[in-house]
Amino acid sequence: MVEKQTLTYSLFLSLLLVLRTWANTEDQVYLQVYPPVNDTDDLTDIYFALMLSFGGDYVSIGALPGVQIALDYINSEPSILPGYSLHYTLTDSQCNRSMALESLFKQLSSEHVKLGLVGSGCSVATEPTAEISQFFNIPQVSCVSSSSELKNRNRFRYYFQLLAAESQIAQGFFKIITHYGWKRISLIIQNENLFTVTMDVLKEQLAESGVDFTEKLFNTEDGIDGLSGGIFEPDTRIYVVAMYASHARDFLCKAYYEGIGYPKYLLITYGWYGSEWWTGKASSKNFNCTPEQRSQALAYSLAPRVQEAFTNLTAPDVSGTTAAMYIEHYREAVLMEVNEEINLRSYIPDRSDPFYYAQHCHEATLTLAFALNKTINDLKNNEEQNTTVVVSKNLVENTVFVEKMVKYLQNTSFDGLSGKTVRFDEDGIRQINVLDVYQYQWNNTKIFRANVAVVHVDESLVIHYHQPFSRDSPGMWPDGVPNDGVPIEDVVTVSVGLTVVYVVFAAAGLAFAVVCIFFTLIFRNRKLIRLSSPNLNYLIGLGAIVLYLNIITLVIPTTNTHFAAVLCNVIQFI
Ligand SMILES: *[C@@H]1O[C@H](CO)[C@@H](O)[C@H](O)[C@H]1NC(C)=O
Ligand SMILES: *[C@@H]1O[C@H](CO)[C@@H](O)[C@H](O)[C@H]1NC(C)=O
Ligand SMILES: *[C@@H]1O[C@H](CO)[C@@H](O)[C@H](O)[C@H]1NC(C)=O
Ligand SMILES: *[C@@H]1O[C@H](CO)[C@@H](O)[C@H](O)[C@H]1NC(C)=O
Ligand SMILES: *[C@@H]1O[C@H](CO)[C@@H](O)[C@H](O)[C@H]1NC(C)=O
Ligand SMILES: *[C@@H]1O[C@H](CO)[C@@H](O)[C@H](O)[C@H]1NC(C)=O
Ligand SMILES: *[C@@H]1O[C@H](CO)[C@@H](O)[C@H](O)[C@H]1NC(C)=O
């Protein structure tokens, strides 16, 4: 194990050298400092790296205002990092593995020492950076990643995450499917850990509860074009769509042209896509659809996601900010020009609806600042180390710093937005355990997302649906609950008590008939019996036996189809 670590370490170091040379020869990717450095004050400027995606499969730059709001608070609050001014430098990860690594090395090779990394903008970009940041003694706090793959303390030693692990969403899918009793499902999966690991959890649960499923996997590079033999199965009506929004848009387009949609078909997809995500650009040229056409396919579908922070607009967080105030700040921050290269408004079309992850990035920035505050205090009080060391020395050698940081990060506990506690499990992952379920409903000519249910992960599979989300009042399904395409098997059963009564009487009758037959057989030579024509008696006795047997076979309860089939045939003869 130790050998393996060393090997990986030296591999990463050589990779760094290669990438560093390469990075330095190219134009610098955008590297923005916020808040602007103030040369006239006597505060020490310290920096953390921020990585979000400006493009690619998942665009998370909308989280930026959340970070800025947190920084404005941290720098104006004298009790946090006294004597310091905290800044970020921002780079783009493009939600792409190689771009994220390049971006990280740009951060590391830029002039300021980075005391932490917030990012990297989506799970695909976070996985490689979390694997590498530890070798540079950089603690990482992510706020836009939730892949279950990241829940692994051995692989990601200095990694913390403000979102619950994605495998919780599997619970959302599972509970929707079982709530409606759907027995046949098709899973369409993008081949990235973010989706495959979650779907593995779901598949296990489906198999355990006897739900049939088929799955189709496509590679990110190929898109859903890469699915040979068509996407839709002839006899499947319920589709779980596990992919990034750009591919989901292509999927909707394909579904539209093949007539897949409510009421005959139903899609279940991820709830964390951006607002009005179906209006965005297609991923492949082959899927040319208008937003209206995609809406047709999307209408009435369901989407679970981990519950967002805004559950109580008036409860304050650790900084005294309520969710309502935060939303207000967010709208102002979006209007702010960071610089002319990046116009946030072009990335955040609907600024009245704060970007889902911005709240978590807000909390991530606070998490990092609190741990930094404690670490710097600690180092100040320690005679061998001092804060000048922290900010000036290369962190690769500074294991004291990172060990303290990780200890304090692990021990994080403060009130986040809506008063929800920010705390991590032993793998550094935040526990949320509550999911919201959304439905895309029609509002005249437009679809909109309505919150229709809450799923509590730990509460023994109970679903607390808001009205009218139930089979009895299917208000959310104008044409009824979609059918899974499995032929309906009607099982009519007689109550146990009645079955017992029938069987007891029939058995008594049966016994009496048998006794009568034997009686006739034994005393057949008696005159009286001969007078009553014994042959006819046998026939009557036999008829009675058949009738009583018929009663028994009819009332025997069974759910075993083979046995039922045998019984069915036997009954024909009796
Ligand atoms: C810079 O620092 C000085 C002195 O602390 C202060 O008066 C001034 O307002 C600061 N400027 C900005 C833009 O924060
Ligand atoms: C930050 O550190 C200072 C001491 O430098 C301490 O007084 C303060 O309580 C700390 N703040 C937080 C939020 O931990
Ligand atoms: C990721 O970025 C690299 C380099 O820019 C590019 O070659 C590759 O196609 C990108 N991958 C995806 C999935 O977009
Ligand atoms: C919201 O938070 C406030 C302040 O903490 C509290 O008084 C109120 O009961 C909370 N509301 C709900 C619905 O939990
Ligand atoms: C802080 O560190 C610097 C350089 O490492 C050293 O010169 C200085 O004496 C240290 N200060 C204290 C108070 O330990
Ligand atoms: C962790 O936090 C608790 C209170 O939140 C505190 O009592 C405890 O000392 C902390 N542990 C460490 C190692 O900082
Ligand atoms: C739906 O449309 C009505 C008017 O047609 C509007 O008042 C309402 O706010 C809309 N609801 C949503 C969630 O968009």
- What pLDDT score does 267 carry? 93
Q: What's this model's pTM, rounded to 2 decimal places? A: 0.72
Ligand 6 near 421 CB (within 6 A)? no
- What pLDDT score does 462 carry? 47
Q: Which stretch of 209-213, 511-515, 551-555 has the lowest confidence by average pLDDT?
A: 551-555
- What pLDDT score does 503 carry? 83
Ligand 6 near 413 CB (within 6 A)? yes
Local confidence band at 490 (pLDDT 50, 70, 90 cut-offs)? low
* Of 193 and 552, the one with more pLDDT: 193
Distance in Å, CA 329 to ligand 7 centroid:
25
- What pLDDT score does 541 carry? 84
Q: Return the ligand number nearest the Cα of 403.
A: 6
- What pLDDT score does 481 carry? 82
Shortest-distance Cα residue to atom 13 of ligand 7:
448
Shortest-distance Cα residue to atom 5 of ligand 3:
99
Residue 451 corresponds to which tokens in the numbers above?
């919150």
Ligand 5 near 454 CB (within 6 A)? no
Question: Residue 85 CB: number of other CB atoms within 10 A?
Answer: 18
Average pLDDT over the chain, rounded to whole?
82
* Mean pLDDT within 314-321: 92
Q: Return the ligand number nearest the Cα of 406.
A: 6
- What pLDDT score does 30 carry? 59
Ligand 2 near 265 CB (within 6 A)? no
Ligand 6 near 411 CB (within 6 A)? yes
Q: Is 447 exposed, middle or buried (0-12, 13-18, 19+ CB in 10 A)?
A: buried
Q: Return the ligand number nearest the Cα of 319.
A: 2
- What pLDDT score does 466 carry? 52
Residue 6 has pLDDT above 70, yes or no: no
% the chain with pLDDT above 90 = 32
Shortest-distance Cα residue to atom 12 of ligand 5:
386
Local confidence band at 20 (pLDDT 50, 70, 90 cut-offs)? very low
Q: Which stretch of 285-299, 417-431, 444-458 has the lowest confidence by average pLDDT?
A: 444-458
- What pLDDT score does 501 carry? 84
Residue 255 has pLDDT above 80, yes or no: yes
Local confidence band at 149 (pLDDT 50, 70, 90 cut-offs)? confident
Query: Can you tell me the distance from the alpha carbon of 438 to that of 324, in angstroms, rounded to the nearest whole number?
Result: 22
Select, from the ranges 327-331, 408-412, 531-535, the one with the highest average predicted confidence (pLDDT): 408-412
Select, from the ranges 68-72, 306-310, 501-505, the one with the highest average predicted confidence (pLDDT): 68-72
Residue 347 has pLDDT above 90, yes or no: no
Question: Which residues neighbour 170 within 8 Å (Cβ) at sequence distance 6 or greater?
Answer: 198, 199, 201, 202, 205
Q: Return the ligand number nearest the Cα of 387.
A: 5
Query: Can you tell me the distance from the alpha carbon of 121 to that of 141, in angstroms, rounded to the nearest whole number?
Result: 11
* Mean pLDDT within 57-73: 88
Ligand 1 near 41 CB (within 6 A)? yes
CA distances from 548 to 33, 306, 508, 518 (A): 90, 59, 9, 17
Residue 236 has pLDDT above 70, yes or no: yes
Q: In sequence order, what are the beta bridge partners of 474? A: 469
8 A C-beta contact, residue 206 and residue 177: yes
Sign of CA dihedral 166, 167, 173, 176: negative
Sign of CA dihedral 244, 249, 254, 259: positive
Q: Are strands 446-456 and 463-465 parallel, antiparallel or unpaired?
A: antiparallel
Distance in Å, CA 96 to ligand 3 centroid:
6
* Of 469 and 75, the one with more pLDDT: 75
525-572 pLDDT tens trace: 888 777 778 788 888 888 888 888 887 777 776 666 667 667 667 766
Ligand 2 near 370 CB (within 6 A)? yes
8 A C-beta contact, residue 555 and residue 503: yes
Residue 403 has pLDDT above 70, yes or no: yes
Residue 34 has pLDDT above 70, yes or no: yes
Ligand 1 near 76 CB (within 6 A)? no
Ligand 5 near 389 CB (within 6 A)? yes
Q: Which atom of ligand 2 is nearest to the CA of 377?
A: 5
103-140 pLDDT tens trace: 999 888 888 888 999 988 888 999 999 999 988 889 99
* Of 398 and 517, the one with more pLDDT: 517
% the chain with pLDDT above 70 = 82
Residue matched to tokens 């829940």: 151
Distance in Å, CA 251 to ligand 7 centroid:
27
Ligand 7 near 444 CB (within 6 A)? yes
Query: Can you tell me the distance from the alpha carbon of 389 to that of 221, in angstroms, rounded to the nearest whole number?
Result: 45
Specify the 3-state DSSP secondary structure of 434.
strand
The terminus-to-terminus CA distance of the chain in angstroms comes to 72
Shortest-distance Cα residue to atom 7 of ligand 4:
315
Pocket of ligand 4 (CB under 6 A): 312, 314-315, 419
Local confidence band at 156 (pLDDT 50, 70, 90 cut-offs)? very high
8 A C-beta contact, residue 81 and residue 376: yes
Residue 48 has pLDDT above 70, yes or no: yes
* Mean pLDDT within 384-403: 65
Q: Which stretch of 24-28, 270-274, 452-456 has the lowest confidence by average pLDDT?
A: 24-28
Q: What is the DSSP letter of 414?
A: E
Q: Return the ligand number nearest the Cα of 372.
A: 2
Distance in Å, CA 426 to ligand 5 centroid:
35
* Of 391 and 439, the one with more pLDDT: 439
8 A C-beta contact, residue 224 and residue 247: yes
Q: Which atom of ligand 7 is nearest to the CA of 450?
A: 13
Pocket test for ligand 4, best of 310, 314, 325 (most atoms within 8 A of CB): 314
Residue 207 corresponds to which tokens in the numbers above?
């198999």
Distance in Å, CA 443 to ligand 7 centroid:
6
Ligand 7 near 442 CB (within 6 A)? no
Shortest-distance Cα residue to atom 4 of ligand 2:
377
Shortest-distance Cα residue to atom 10 of ligand 1:
38
- What pLDDT score does 11 carry? 46
- What pLDDT score does 489 carry? 59
- What pLDDT score does 21 carry? 42
Shortest-distance Cα residue to atom 5 of ligand 4:
315
